[in-house]
Structure 1
């Protein structure tokens, strides 16, 4: 496409001129659009339902805009923007000090930067100023590029360890022979490693300009003040004089089956079939979204029924890429060891391309619409997600496509969906199998551009959601508003009614059962019982359960093992009582279908097989087993991969039924709900569902006393894995009520948590050795036995440098201590993170349930806040020196260490 025309230099900030006003454009379903004279588009999505603010800026630049030799350039800019400007040279440290949950992402059509934080005008004003500063004044310097290069390569290597990710890249590259969608966003290694800094700076100056960006502010904020700050910071940036290049390449119609084969060490067989589809703005795109669900969903999809239920594959999937230009539908299957690859490939193709012989039914379409719309609804009701979700619609051509696609999904007709299947899901549009000659080849429709403005002429916005009252997420107010109760069965409850957008409710239910002796030998059985609770009851089949959840606009997630099972519920005010009734049925009346157990066993075996070759899994398993004193069968025993597979194979349906009958009940249960609900209705529903359901056996928590962890260093060779891992472990004789709890928490934050930690600044920022390095403490609430853990990923050739850097930084913090400045900055950051956490309804519900079990209230959270605020340098240093003993650590590395 030639060179980059019309470049302009970065513009310094200055006092905005009177003409730099923010002009209102339109309001659609609660989202208001504004424009600055320099071209910046601003979207405001106010929502006071929880005290957080999310700010996102989307640039219309991704890998699609990269020229020959420039692959990975958009992604490199994402990394380098966080390297700072003359006024803000240490971006991650500033984020951490303010308690930001922040990041950036690069995709095919766009790059975005976002941060969520506890609603605070100072934080909002600062982040807006940084975004404006970063837009035109980022260093994009050679020294930063050099230090970040190893990190970017490490991110590449991390992806190289994933067969599914690489197969996706190879499939896309085979599908797109001319268009840049066939190029991986992370770029070619040669392009990234040899990038020319003036060319990268020119790319930055071309695309990082206000007329190519959309700023989105969602959550709680003052509209007038926010617009004033937008005008102040962004209005000072001059409108660029350059013109953006016109990108006109479209992939021609595919004219025959294509294939790609990837051969590497480890993992399980994987199939992926790609089909070209229209752009997201095209009227037919909604049909492709629904087709992906009809085919790839589990358990309702056709691929699941044909491949998984018949033991041809372990699992299946389906997805669409909604893009600015014609995108792709990807369908596939993961195989377990021993399953026939050729048979699976034939069955997958037969199902996908058999739509003409087996047309879509009205029930399939209705089910797919309900599932898609439920997911859209949940995303739109979350102010922390909707601002970032709009990025893709902006990249597709217009942010209102977010609503238009929803309307098209809702209005989709069976005949149109069937027509799109017949046009697109054909052999000549497939990238997967061998070439097959044919006398009358079919062609998909010729790709065309979409006039987005014309498509939106018939769009009629729905009414915006009502304003939600503000909520004070302080510990005292949470305790004040929380209603606690106990049901006849013994179940403890905590309800926190509060306003939410769209009447959303988050709930948590945990059942606890068994003791150290009665649970012996039940680890895998207990896990499978929990996994099968939503796969069938005595009244409802697996698909009926899913349909019921979709009808109730409810998500249910169940997980558990020996000793407990936890149900997470996301629902709405009107549906929550019925959702609770359904959960009660799932818990009390599971049917444990044999076919589903076999499916679960195959999927677990496939997962274990993949973990056998993964450096991270190998090292984690080895360290978990090192120093573990418990015998085989004890629920605290760390199993080998072979032991897991043996346990998986040995489980039968009768064991599941016997375990459920012996242990399940609500006598030792905790339930919590946070959100917009009728407390009395919830109590009645809970009482009716499980209020009388008593546990058949006693519950005594399995103790986990402190046991010695012998120092060691383990080394594992993992051939053909380009990403290596380091890990270290120690066991600290403390719990979360210990006098050193706050000091150790803060000290660990300074050492290895977040963007301002010692390890991050040296290993990630300064030396560029790792994409992710951290330390953490897994706090025990009972025994004085809390694991201290550290980890890093890196290129295998950097093993010695990474280990040395970790050892030196730990030694330095113990010898020289942390500084007063670090302590004060960490206090501010941790307290801000804790406030942000209390603003998340799902976290609140989980904590309320945990507090019931621990006999705590949020007064404990307030006490921790106060203890953190009162910490001194001496207390933090004393705690670190008392408890961190590097000579007693167990550590290990795993990777392809060819020269070691």
Structure 2
């Protein structure tokens, strides 16, 4: 539940056109509620007890998002209390006297809910299909949780194993461990030096009384910000909030003052971590200003100029010179002065000392090699695209506003955008040069220096004064609503094929208004068959992966610059005669993006230097996977279910074979494969969002004109294979976390009459946060942070997989295996009750409705449906079948298919810590259909 520490790019600093959100309307305010500033569609209200409310309505998608942000994180923890904020986040989900199982209620109502903690804040968030009753229920739960959570010793003891499990999962990640140790070394006094998860001894010995005191001190209305975004009625929602929270009195206590100021660092620090497994890493960390500082945005622009791939200076200094396989850089958006990190990943044959030296020489070179205007313009373009995507998506916008709240004020989201636009080359150069100095760095040993150069101490920021008269930009217009029912989706989608001389193009075009005029699209190209692709498995995957690395007229950098100018994202993937491109951009740029995509598909030339880099990255990634418990377990099961010969495209290689295959790749191989197989003939295109269909058709016609016809496509079959149950015990030395996976192949297709019942059976068994496995293993016994099951049936042939998954501490292995086996057997023996089935079906129908609100999912679903001759009538058919199910239907299907003793199992754990032997079940590398595997599995399958 902790928030990821890596921020890919600071997205809170970019200009956007004024056409996205409904303006703030004057509301008849409830008693004791006052209205505050209103910026570009987001309006602030304050209750008499101090609760801040932000309403940012957007009717373009029938989804509502609610986020409760408490201004407390690990920064407020004292010695001996580390991890308390994160632990308290867990405890709120343990319930109150009136609601003992929040997870069950979330699942029943179709909410996607969770929480997260970082240094500056704790938040609780949920998204759901827009519904006033659900909104009111969740707001009332938040009000109840604010003051009535039990925080009991019994619940703490039960949750403790789960928290330990999460802690151990993080300890398996070399990067997270390195970052944690470097941050601890960088801070001498400030609490930012402590990892949010806390010290194990503090967490395990936490005093329940102190935890309750921490809760009552910080979980109060005057220390919280409630954000509601998406589709909702502002006036009635504000009334609901006022009724739910208004009865909570304003606290009389004063929050403890914070007066620790981290002194300016006066010399290099160095940290070395030695652990088993993973890829080599080098990094350099610097202290930087807080997010509210006027210096923060200029510094962050400089950071991105240095660390961007492939244009950045670190990339050219390390990756181009084969000193590293990849580079990265990010800054922390924090309330008080934070840190920035630059780093590189290496493969096992590279010299870490040389890589770290090259990294630091590059960072030290700014006075000699100043930034250029072209570099700054390129990075600003990237920011614009990322900010536009964030502002256009209610979920992302809610998260961004929560981050801005934690940094000091929600308006920072807009202010930093303005600061980015105004930032000059001279500002970026000055600030970057001031902070990127050796004495401010954590990576190496101490070196005595006669005249150390030190970074300036960031000055305090009077944010209230700075924002006093801030108005933001023009409030955008309202976006029309679109109700994504299956019937509406089908009616609004044009499916007339595009007839071209070199073959038809199947089309599914669904134009509709979206916030930011964004559009999501997929392009599918298919070719050849299983026999024709013999010996081409590695070439097929590598060719698709390198399509955006260059053409005779476009370098990789030129391609990336073009995508940035189009505010676009483009990703290729492919295997087994299938290549799919995922496209995202604005309405006016979609035709040009389609043409660019087809240009890359037709003219990719696989430059030698790019292939060499691709191979280094692939080898590094594979070597890293060879020590990860989940990768080892998954590969073991996948290879067991592997009847194909080495030259078959369906063959699953060992890690060692993968390394040999990658090393053997040549440019000639890829050029030949591309020339022999890629072409027109079997092409499909889907788009959902704001776009002009005729312009898209013209772009497809132009891009495909004259392209040779590919070898005739026949889907590569993946038939059912019966497997004798087998157990794999894999030793993963020095890994704190273990993984349990299991798989059962079944001869079932999604057209089978039992399919809907089996989907519900899986949901009740391990597919939700009210499931049997979740309640037994996560809630009751606290053995696993994550436990689940999955049922995946092919749409093409009678083949399916039932699987299960859990992570756990190795010393709890026997308890986990016993619990898993007992729950599987109990499900078959006792079945599910009518109430369980009824609630499960209701929850699934709500989740399916929520999933259909997502444009990217709809575009991917249409690609699959076009291959199957289906439409969203199929989705409606499944809805109707689910609604008719009884407990008898579900239990009958379950007992006819689920055989607990026939699962094949893979357990990856440190054998020196694990105890006992007991067969059970787990999650595999499930067989996927060639087309279906390219779409987002969980989201898309939810509506199919």
TM range (shorter): over 0.9
Please state if 1:443 is matched with 2:443: no
Indicate how the Cα distance of structure 1 residues 411 and 124 shifts in structure 2: closer, same or farther if over 3 A, else same. same
CA offsets 1:105-127 (integer angstroms, 9 cap, x no match): 00010000100101111110100
Cα distance, 1:772 vs. partner?
Answer: 0.3
Q: Specify the alignment match of 2:934 in structure 1.
A: none
Cα distance, 1:458 vs. partner?
Answer: 6.2
Please state if 1:78 is matched with 2:89: yes
Of residues 735, 743, 746, the one that matches 1:729 is 743
CA offsets 1:754-804 (integer angstroms, 9 cap, x no match): 110000001000000000000002221111111111010000000011111
Asked if structure 1 preserves the Cα contact closer than 8 Å seen for 2:765 and 2:772, the reply is yes
Please state if 1:775 is matched with 2:789: yes
Of residues 283, 306, 310, the one that matches 1:272 is 283
Q: Specify the alignment match of 1:812 in structure 2.
A: 826
Asked if structure 2 preserves the Cα contact closer than 8 Å seen for 1:325 and 1:449, the reply is no
Indicate how the Cα distance of structure 1 residues 744 and 244 shifts in structure 2: closer, same or farther if over 3 A, else same. same
Distance in 1 of aligned mates of 2:423 and 2:122: 31
Please state if 1:61 is matched with 2:72: yes
Cα distance, 1:692 vs. partner?
Answer: 5.0
Structure 1, gaps ≥5 residues long: 1-17
Please state if 1:799 is matched with 2:810: no
Q: Specify the alignment match of 2:150 in structure 1.
A: 139
Cα distance, 1:22 vs. partner?
Answer: 2.1
CA offsets 1:80-122 (integer angstroms, 9 cap, x no match): 1111111111101111111111110000100001001011111
Asked if structure 1 preserves the Cα contact closer than 8 Å seen for 2:576 and 2:650, the reply is no
Cα distance, 1:603 vs. partner?
Answer: 0.5
Distance in 1 of aligned mates of 2:543 and 2:587: 29
Q: Specify the alignment match of 1:5 in structure 2.
A: none
Of residues 210, 219, 222, the one that matches 1:208 is 219
CA offsets 1:478-514 (integer angstroms, 9 cap, x no match): 0000001222132211100111011010111111122
Q: Specify the alignment match of 1:888 in structure 2.
A: 902
CA offsets 1:276-307 (integer angstroms, 9 cap, x no match): 11000000100122122111111111111111
Distance in 2 of aligned mates of 1:866 and 1:692: 45
Q: Specify the alignment match of 2:298 in structure 1.
A: 287
Asked if structure 1 preserves the Cα contact closer than 8 Å seen for 2:737 and 2:807, the reply is yes
Please state if 1:493 is matched with 2:507: yes
Of residues 49, 56, 78, the one that matches 1:45 is 56
Q: Specify the alignment match of 1:334 in structure 2.
A: 345
Distance in 2 of aligned mates of 1:686 and 1:806: 51
CA offsets 1:497-544 (integer angstroms, 9 cap, x no match): 111011010111111122111212222211111111111112211111
Asked if structure 2 preserves the Cα contact closer than 8 Å seen for 1:553 and 1:571, the reply is yes
Of residues 611, 620, 623, the one that matches 1:597 is 611
Asked if structure 2 preserves the Cα contact closer than 8 Å seen for 1:491 and 1:669, the reply is yes
CA offsets 1:391-446 (integer angstroms, 9 cap, x no match): 11001110000111111111110011100121011100110022222221101001
CA offsets 1:354-410 (integer angstroms, 9 cap, x no match): 111110010100111111221111111101221122111001110000111111111
Cα distance, 1:696 vs. partner?
Answer: 2.5
Of residues 162, 173, 177, the one that matches 1:166 is 177
Q: Specify the alignment match of 1:297 in structure 2.
A: 308
Cα distance, 1:457 vs. partner?
Answer: 4.1
Cα distance, 1:666 vs. partner?
Answer: 3.0
Q: Specify the alignment match of 2:234 in structure 1.
A: 223
Please state if 1:860 is matched with 2:866: no
Distance in 2 of aligned mates of 1:819 and 1:288: 59
How do 1:47-446 residues align onto structure 2 when only pairs under 5 Å count? Answer: 47-446=58-457
- Aligned Cα root-mean-square deviation (Å): 1.1
How do 1:525-540 residues align onto structure 2 when only pairs under 5 Å count? Answer: 525-540=539-554
Q: Specify the alignment match of 2:772 in structure 1.
A: 758
Q: Specify the alignment match of 1:785 in structure 2.
A: 799
Distance in 2 of aligned mates of 1:88 and 1:838: 30
Please state if 1:625 is matched with 2:636: no
CA offsets 1:173-206 (integer angstroms, 9 cap, x no match): 0111111111000000000000000100000000
Asked if structure 1 preserves the Cα contact closer than 8 Å seen for 2:508 and 2:686, the reply is yes
CA offsets 1:294-346 (integer angstroms, 9 cap, x no match): 11111111111111111110000010101000011110000012011111011
Of residues 572, 593, 602, the one that matches 1:588 is 602
With normalisation by structure 1, the TM-score equals: 0.97
Distance in 2 of aligned mates of 1:257 and 1:510: 52
Please state if 1:828 is matched with 2:842: yes
Cα distance, 1:691 vs. partner?
Answer: 5.4
Asked if structure 2 preserves the Cα contact closer than 8 Å seen for 1:49 and 1:468, the reply is yes
Structure 2, gaps ≥5 residues long: 1-28, 916-944
Indicate how the Cα distance of structure 1 residues 656 and 120 shifts in structure 2: closer, same or farther if over 3 A, else same. same
Distance in 2 of aligned mates of 1:284 and 1:345: 27
Aligned residues: 883
Asked if structure 2 preserves the Cα contact closer than 8 Å seen for 1:288 and 1:320, the reply is no
